[in-house]
Amino acid sequence: MDISLILLTLQIAVVATVINLPIAIGLSWLIVKRRVRGSFLLDVLVSLPLALPPVVSGYFLLLLLGREGPVGSLIRDILGVDIVFTWVAAALASAVVSFPLMARGVMTAIEGVDERLERSARSLGAGALRVAFTITLPLAYRGIMAGVLLGFVRALSEFGATIVVAGNIPGRTQTLPLAIFENVQLGRDADALRLVGVSIALAVATILVHNWLLSKSRTKD
């Protein structure tokens, strides 16, 4: 088994998770705590990739990041590189598809923080950012981490959006799900089963940590 395949899959999932985390925290703060105008629309947009087929998300990314797309052409003009059909495109696809799961977990965690503690801190002169970093996020971190792990395990299993915007290039963009698909197509059942076992092991390990964090969060509450 090619260890580089597993490492690339983990690399893409980690990068997708790192991209999503600050965005998920920021949007969750706006929707749950600040309750800004248009928060209902923001909430819908956060959940949209969960409702759409991943292939649709991948197609929109392809339009955005392709050579003729607004972002892709800008990056090409400035840096002279193409994003599509690279591991970066795979990471972005995984980020988009996994974002709703992470964001929902983060929202739930932040919403569960006792607002009386936040009001007390504000009454003592603490600003919004100080309240966030000294009260809200420390109290919500276990739930946030549970959301992070849920997003991570979804990024590990991403297929539809990735194959559209990044292709299935061995050594460059091929992840575990794509390699399983290729082996099944070629009739290499033994290789496919080995990769399925690796995927299951990674998913189970992540879910166990996720559930442990959730149980700790509930116990603390």
pLDDT at site 103: 93
pLDDT at site 215: 76
Question: Full-prediction pTM beyond 0.85?
Answer: yes
Query: Which pLDDT tens digit goes with each residue over 161-185?
Result: 999 999 999 999 999 999 999 999 9
What is the number of domains present in the chain?
1
| CA separation for the pair 103, 145 (Å, rounded) | 11
Q: Is 133 exposed, middle or buried (0-12, 13-18, 19+ CB in 10 A)?
A: exposed
8 A C-beta contact, residue 157 and residue 203: yes
2 or 42, higher pLDDT: 42
User: Of 17-21, 71-75, 120-124, which range is least confident?
Assistant: 120-124
CB atoms within 10 A of CB 174: 24
Query: Which pLDDT tens digit goes with each residue over 18-61?
Result: 999 999 999 988 888 777 777 788 888 888 998 999 999 999 99
What percent of the chain lies above the pLDDT cut of 90?
55
Query: Which pLDDT tens digit goes with each residue over 140-164?
Result: 888 898 889 889 999 999 999 999 9
Per-residue confidence at 221, pLDDT binned at 50, 70, 90?
A: low
| CA separation for the pair 134, 112 (Å, rounded) | 15
Q: Is 60 exceeded by the pLDDT of residue 220? A: no
Rg value, the chain, Cα: 20
C-alpha distances out from residue 201 to 15, 86, 123, Å: 20, 26, 49
Cα 82 to chain centroid distance, Å, stands at: 22
Q: Is 80 exceeded by the pLDDT of residue 1? A: no
Question: Domain range spanning residue 84?
Answer: 3-220
CATH of the domain at 104: 1.10.3720.10
What would the mean pLDDT of 69-77 be, rounded to a whole number? Answer: 91
